[in-house]
Amino acid sequence: MRGTLYVVADAADPQSPVFGSFTMSRPRQGAPRIVDETRALSWVIEEFGAEGMIEHRLSEQGRASVLAAVKAGKSVPGVEIPEPGRPVATFRQDADAKAEVVAMWQRGEPVLDTVLPLPEGAGQ
């Protein structure tokens, strides 16, 4: 899930003041990386031949070919793609929001279980 959620005093009122926003990014997908050059080297020789691809190890062109193949969906021995990282979540609060939230709380608003519904049995 990604997107922005705006925190307002009254969701039914389009003129309600915005207290802040909560934003969650999409997790970043890690780039493929060669973890076993010997196996990747064998694959390059089989796939493209040795000319221009090998020095005493994979040449830059060889490495680029391996990584391009993985990005194109090929399975290349010796290359792994790390799991995506965690999404980044941020909350920005307007300067006067804290005082307004405290005042709302003192008036009995908002009822938190309607603002932040929790699954049954949560928090027990």
The rounded distance, in Å, linking the Cα atoms of 64 and 72 is 12
pLDDT computed for residue 68 by the predictor = 92
Q: 36-73 pLDDT, tens per residue?
A: 888 888 888 888 887 766 666 788 888 899 999 999 99
Q: Place 123 in a pLDDT band, splitting at 50, 70 and 90.
A: very low
pTM score, whole prediction: 0.37
Burial of 104 (0-12, 13-18, 19+ CB in 10 A): middle
Residue with tokens 């064998």: 42
pLDDT digit string, tens, across residues 14-24: 787 777 777 77
Taking residues 76-89, report their average pLDDT.
80
